[in-house]
Amino acid sequence: MLITDPTYCKSSEFFLAMITTADHAAPIAGAILSLVIIIFFSTACNSDPDLLLDFCIADTTAAAAFHFNGLPCIDPATARADHFATSALSRPTDSSGTLFGFNATMTSPAASLPGANAQGLAMARVDLAPGGMAPLHSHPRASEVALVLSGGVLVGFADTSYRLYTQRLRAGEAFVFPRGMVHFMRNEDTSAPAVVLSGLNSQSPGAQLVPFSAFLTEPRLPDEVVKKTFRITGQDVQRIQRSLGGS
Ligand SMILES: *[C@@H]1O[C@H](CO)[C@@H](O)[C@H](O)[C@H]1NC(C)=O
């Protein structure tokens, strides 16, 4: 059984910790079981930390005197409705001159949506040029649900067994990319742009593009590592680096 509801996760973790620590009869087996359970639940139940207040509107003016997991809050008495509103996703971004024909805007508590601080969520608007693509990438800290607002979009992800799940979506249709899975979105229409709106269950989902992780890190990965990873030649490596805009 895979449990993903965060409240369920927390109470089960507590409950299981109680039974396993009460297991005096078989201390070693008990310790191993506890470890397995802790590992299982810490991987199955990771999500952004819970809030102890109604909200924590980001104080974007605070000096970065020390580092939080998130942003410090303003005095709740000074909260306004517009702290919870944003127009950041209302404007199309320019995807025409980009490397892959896509551009994206993500809400951020620091820049565009202070009321979302510590709420464990973010939204993204993805603009895909005609034939454009958000190339293979993953979000290490968030599951994503992508809703097509306009256009025809081919989406897909690979799971850890390398099984591929793909779907063609039209306007109004949505698709879930499970947390951390490598995925893509491609505009199948070569004459019109497509717009996708995504919801993500972290305020800091992170994004790692597969081509950049392999070919455009700073500093570059050793050639031998890239050559052996993909079973290609040094010339292939250079050709791909150049085609991705590196030198
Ligand atoms: C993405 O769109 C914004 C807004 O139109 C633009 O300022 C930015 O340059 C675009 N990014 C790229 C890589 O072209």
What pLDDT is recorded for position 58? 87
Q: For residues 7 and 219, what is the distance between their CA atoms, to the nearest angstrom?
A: 42
Ligand 1, residue 97: give the atom nearest the CA. Answer: 14
Do residues 74 and 59 make contact, with C-beta atoms less than 8 angstroms apart?
Answer: yes
**Helices 27-44/6-21 angle, 10° precision:** 170
φ, ψ for residue 186, nearest 5 deg:
-125, 130
Q: For residues 113 and 58, what is the distance between their CA atoms, to the nearest angstrom?
A: 8
- Class level of CATH domain 77-204: mainly beta
Q: Does the annotation place 137 within a ligand binding site?
A: yes
Cα 109 to middle of ligand 1, angstroms? 20
What pLDDT is recorded for position 47? 73
| Strand (E) or helix (H) holding 229 | helix 223-230
Choose one of 87, 90, 91, 98 to mutate for the ligand 1 pocket test, by most ligand atoms within 8 angstroms of C-beta.
98
| Residue 173, number of CB atoms within 10 A of its CB | 14
Do residues 155 and 241 make contact, with C-beta atoms less than 8 angstroms apart?
Answer: no
What pLDDT is recorded for position 9? 45
CA 131 to chain centre: 23
Q: What residue ranges line ligand 1, CB within 6 angstroms?
A: 93-94, 97-98, 103
Q: For residues 79 and 55, what is the distance between their CA atoms, to the nearest angstrom?
A: 9
- Give nearest CA residue, ligand 1 atom 3: 93
Q: For residues 30 and 27, what is the distance between their CA atoms, to the nearest angstrom?
A: 5
Structure tokens belonging to residue 175? 């698709």
What pLDDT is recorded for position 51? 78
Residue 215: CB partners within 8 Å, gap ≥ 6? 221, 226, 237, 240, 241, 244, 246
- In three-state secondary structure terms, 14 is helix
Q: For residues 187 and 133, what is the distance between their CA atoms, to the nearest angstrom?
A: 6
Structure tokens belonging to residue 242? 């150049």
Do residues 180 and 138 make contact, with C-beta atoms less than 8 angstroms apart?
Answer: yes
The model carries a pTM of: 0.79
Cα 92 to middle of ligand 1, angstroms? 10
What pLDDT is recorded for position 26? 55
pLDDT tens for the chain, 247 residues: list them: 444 444 444 434 433 433 344 444 455 555 555 544 444 444 455 678 887 778 888 888 876 666 566 788 999 999 999 999 999 999 999 998 999 999 999 999 999 999 999 999 999 999 999 999 999 999 999 999 999 999 999 999 999 999 999 999 999 999 999 999 999 999 999 999 999 999 999 999 999 999 999 999 999 999 999 999 999 999 999 999 999 999 7
Q: For residues 170 and 44, what is the distance between their CA atoms, to the nearest angstrom?
A: 31
Do residues 70 and 118 make contact, with C-beta atoms less than 8 angstroms apart?
Answer: yes
